[in-house]
């Protein structure tokens, strides 16, 4: 895997002059953030050696390099989900590439179902911790010490420093947010009402089908993580209506402007 990652990094080094230290993973319906990026260089995943190709609607599948208020960034428009049939190592492959490319801070975003009853569709939730219910871990397998240690610490899965920066920026700009624990599960079926009841008892505030694998690998590699969930719907049993991915994307797009503004303000402070 190490050689494959280095091959991908070499390709990117040749294609792009920028050396961003900040990466942003855009969740379902949150891709409009790329409109805020200047001096863009876009590379579709299919052109990148060893990169998986995304298949889910609402995910375009490209890396976007550029600047936000003068800060160089690397955005992933379209991510890889376990439910698409990828191996965990494929789902998290871009994170390994980011690390070798020089990324130090990663902002991971997602669309998620709200379990905390104080939330509503359109709530932006700062992720303070995660619960891994994928039933697996992206680090299973022989460990390559060139990447990280066998037993990585997860006591600060989401960087306290980045969380306090995000809060400071939100308060300064009067941006509303909530905080909570994100529970990641495989999907692709949405949860049953009984499952949501269990997740609520476990301490989850939001549920989704991504983010946890990327967060685990970023911590393993020594990348600091900030997580933001866009609550697109209240979870099963709390909401009385059925879920659809179209409705999820619709609400994420509608919340997109507030999400983008916050992320732009955060990134601007990461000079
Ligand atoms: O987590 P992201 O990719 O934002 O998308 C969320 O929305 C999809 C379900 O509607 C799932 O992929 C879930 O994880
Ligand atoms: O209710 C949900 N459950 C799981 N994933 C999701 N992504 C958006 N909404 C949801």
CA of 109 to the centre of ligand 1 (A): 10
pLDDT of 58 over the 90 cut: no
Give the H or E element holding residue 40.
strand 38-44
* 2-268: in CATH 3.40.50.300: no
Q: With cut-offs at 50, 70 and 90, classify the pLDDT of residue 55.
A: low
| CA-based nearest residue to 261, from 32, 23, 21 | 32
Read off the pLDDT of each residue in 48-57 and give the average, rounded to a whole number.
78
Alpha helices in the chain (DSSP H): 2-15, 88-91, 93-101, 160-172, 193-202, 212-221, 245-268
Q: With cut-offs at 50, 70 and 90, classify the pLDDT of residue 110.
A: very high
Q: What are the pocket residues of ligand 2 if the criterion is a CB atom closer than 6 Å to any ligand atom? A: 111-113, 190-191, 207-209, 232-233, 235, 243, 248
pLDDT of 56 over the 80 cut: no
Residue with CA at minimum distance from ligand 1 atom 9: 245
Q: What is the pTM of this model?
A: 0.96
Q: Could you count the other beta carbons within 10 Å of the beta carbon of residue 105? A: 22
Domain ranges of the chain: 2-268
Helices then strands, each counted (H, E), the chain: 7, 9
What is the predicted pLDDT for the residue at 271? 82
What is the predicted pLDDT for the residue at 87? 95
What is the predicted pLDDT for the residue at 138? 98
Tell me which ligand sits closest to the C-alpha of residue 249. 1
CA of 49 to the centre of ligand 1 (A): 25
Give the separation between CA 208 and CA 126, rounded to whole angstroms.
Answer: 14
What is the predicted pLDDT for the residue at 145? 96
Tell me, what's the ipTM?
0.99
pLDDT of 59 over the 60 cut: no
Give the separation between CA 114 and CA 121, rounded to whole angstroms.
Answer: 8
Binding positions for a purine D-ribonucleoside are 191, 233
Q: With cut-offs at 50, 70 and 90, classify the pLDDT of residue 264.
A: very high
Q: Which atom of ligand 1 is nearest the CA belonging to 243?
A: 10
Mutate to test the pocket of ligand 1, among 33, 55, 187 (most ligand atoms within 8 A of CB): 187
Q: With cut-offs at 50, 70 and 90, classify the pLDDT of residue 54.
A: low
Mutate to test the pocket of ligand 2, among 82, 208, 251 (most ligand atoms within 8 A of CB): 208
């Amino acid at each position: 895997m190490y050689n494959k990652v280095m091959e991908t990094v070499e390709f990117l080094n040749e294609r792009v002059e920028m050396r961003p230290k900040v990466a942003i993973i855009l969740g379902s319906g949150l891709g409009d953030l790329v409109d805020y990026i200047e001096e863009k260089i876009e590379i579709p995943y299919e052109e990148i050696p060893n990169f998986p190709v995304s298949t889910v609607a609402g995910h375009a599948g490209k890396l976007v390099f550029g600047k936000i208020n003068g800060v160089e960034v690397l955005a992933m428009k379209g991510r890889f989900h376990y439910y698409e049939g990828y191996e965990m190592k494929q789902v998290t492959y871009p994170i390994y590439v980011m690390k070798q490319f020089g990324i130090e801070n990663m902002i991971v975003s997602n669309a998620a179902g709200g379990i905390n009853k104080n939330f509503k569709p359109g709530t932006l939730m700062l992720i303070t911790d995660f619960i891994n219910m994928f039933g697996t871990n992206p680090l299973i397998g022989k460990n390559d010490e060139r990447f990280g240690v066998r037993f990585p610490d997860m006591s600060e899965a989401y960087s306290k420093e980045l969380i306090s920066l995000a809060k400071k920026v939100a308060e300064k700009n009067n941006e509303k947010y909530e905080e909570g624990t994100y529970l990641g599960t495989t999907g692709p079926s949405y949860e049953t009402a009984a499952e949501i009841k269990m997740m609520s008892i476990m301490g989850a505030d939001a549920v989704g089908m991504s983010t946890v694998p990327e967060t685990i690998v970023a911590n393993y590699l020594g990348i600091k993580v900030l997580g933001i969930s866009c609550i697109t719907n209240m979870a099963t049993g709390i909401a009385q209506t059925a879920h659809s991915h179209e409705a999820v994307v619709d609400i994420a797009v509608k919340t997109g402007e507030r999400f983008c503004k916050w992320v732009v303000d955060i990134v601007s402070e990461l000079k």
